Structure 1
């Protein structure tokens, strides 16, 4: 088992890195094989903006 420095890698070991790599590859393969309709970029960005705005509003309400 190779130990990594936190300065050089976000993983503690080569095994942890390999497990994360396998997980990411599986997620990508699943997404590429999906037959679900794509969501347009503009809709994704609008949803994200709404989430951010809601969080800002909650933070402002807590400051009162």
Structure 2
């Protein structure tokens, strides 16, 4: 019989659902780590990604401002 959880304490209805989600999540993380260790994996430095995102956001803001004016 499933052990019910309070919606205040958990997003899952039962302990079994929570444990199944934990197993799935851990498997996904392990797969991602194996993929990251694969030969030929490409890594972009955090600073470079953040700079690119700031540019994208700035361009979107300018485009929106031009559209609104």
Superposition TM-score, scaled by structure 2 size: 0.59
Unaligned 5+ runs, structure 2: none
Q: How many residues are treated as equivalent by the alignment? A: 58
**Equivalent residue number for residue 10 of structure 2:** 9
Could you tell me the TM-score, scaled by structure 1's length? Answer: 0.62
Match of 1:44 among 49, 55, 65: 49
RMSD of aligned Cα (Å)? 2.6
Q: What runs of 5+ residues in structure 1 fail to find an aligned partner?
A: none
Bigger radius of gyration, 1 or 2?
A: 2
